[in-house]
Amino acid sequence: SAFPIGTEWENIDKIKEFNWNFENLEKALEEGGKLYGKTVYVFGSTEPQLLNVDGESKIVLIPVVVAVDCPFPPSDKIGINSVQRENEEIVPMRAMKMAWVPYVPLEDRLSRIDSLKTKIFTLGCTQRRSALKHLKEERVKKFDYCMPYYMPLSPPEDEDDTVVNIMYPLEPPIVCDFDWEMDDMEDFIDEKVKDEVLPEDEKEKFKDFIKERVRERKRELKQVRNQAKC
């Protein structure tokens, strides 16, 4: 479920040509594993390799999954770079329609996300492939050159940060920021309905989703403060 960041759009389906096995990561996240019960951020990428497949040389996209054990997001930035570009460009994840989203196991996909209490987050992207044809080529190519931009793994400079990133699972998803001190929740939600990005009958679910994200963020900040005291 992790978006294969930095992979050309036309090559994403090639990852499915082989039945890749990530049992080692699954075991690490299960009870008794090294990552069980921890807050983990997961992102995927690919590495092209020339391999012998059925007696023929073939470029194979090998998926790579990275799991970061950290009480807070390791980064909210994306680096855009390639040999063709003179300088690396650092942009917020949301500028490329990306965000850390709660991982929902397949068997729980029909459950309410806010009730799952997950501590696993994957790097997701809401850019629809069907809409790429409407974008400028330069914009499309930027996705090909994206990679997570790692900030130093240290607590956020502003431990009193009151902003949470929202990626609400609709089609298309709602991606926005909510400041629990500056924004009035009712007005915030009504504005989304007025802008026709949130259906009227989703208001209560959206409110519960925001509340859970706020609780998660407050827990993260509390954990950061506690670690700083150690």
Burial zone of 76 (CB within 10 Å; 0-12 exposed, 13-18 middle, 19+ buried): middle
What's the confidence (pLDDT) of residue 114?
Answer: 45
pTM exceeding 0.75: no
pLDDT (tens digit, 9 = 90+) per residue, 157-192? 555 578 887 878 777 778 788 899 889 999 999 999
Contact 147, 45 (CB under 8 A): yes
Structure tokens at 6: 């930095």
What's the confidence (pLDDT) of residue 160?
Answer: 53
What's the confidence (pLDDT) of residue 184?
Answer: 93
pLDDT (tens digit, 9 = 90+) per residue, 181-220? 889 999 999 999 998 889 999 999 999 999 988 888 887 7
What's the confidence (pLDDT) of residue 197?
Answer: 86
Domain chopping of the chain, boundaries: 1-153, 155-230
Average pLDDT over residues 49-69: 90
Contact 144, 46 (CB under 8 A): no
What's the confidence (pLDDT) of residue 227?
Answer: 63
Structure tokens at 140: 């499309």
Distance CA 58, CA 51 (A): 5
Query: Does pLDDT of 153 surpass 60?
Result: no
pLDDT (tens digit, 9 = 90+) per residue, 114-152? 444 558 888 888 888 888 888 888 888 889 888 888 764
Which of 190, 185, 143, 149 is CA-nearest to residue 164?
185
Give 113's pLDDT tier (boundaries 50, 70, 90).
very low
Please spell the DSSP secondary structure of 179-197, one letter per residue: ETTTS-HHHHHHHHHHTTS
